[in-house]
Amino acid sequence: MKIQRRNKANPEFSLAAMTDVILLMLIFFMITSSAANQSAIDVKLPKAGAIEDNIPNPLTVSIKPDGTYFVDDNPVTREQLESVIVSKLTGQTNKSFTIRADENTMHKDVVFVMEIAEKNKFNIAIATVKDK
């Protein structure tokens, strides 16, 4: 007489729980990465009409209305600015940075940073806010 077991272990693995966890992690990292790109330097960016969102540059140069410079939220003097930018972009594949200038910043201060980019063959982007 042959006795059969009724309770056999099911060796199949369900991927539904793992898919849910991966989806939640993806949402979490997307939200935190967009919040991480915000700079702590308070500047009022000028408004622009039609702009397209681009990939954010890893380096940000902020210029306050009084002519003070910040590289990634760290204060830098005018004399040190070029050497700090060059040292941070050395070895980067994307040699570019974003200029965040207050709407009341003197034009000469923005041009000074643009000349640094031109001299070292860096690409630049100028940060603006969308016009509503």
Rounded distance between C-alpha atoms, residue 13 and residue 17, angstroms:
10
The four Cα atoms 107, 109, 121, 71 give a dihedral, to 10 degrees, of -130
pTM of the predicted structure, to 2 decimals? 0.59
Mean pLDDT rounded to a whole number for the chain: 81
Average pLDDT over residues 7-25: 80
Rounded distance between C-alpha atoms, residue 113 and residue 54, angstroms:
20
The four Cα atoms 26, 32, 33, 38 give a dihedral, to 10 degrees, of 160
Per residue in 35-76, pLDDT tens?
Answer: 665 666 666 666 666 555 555 567 889 999 998 999 988 999
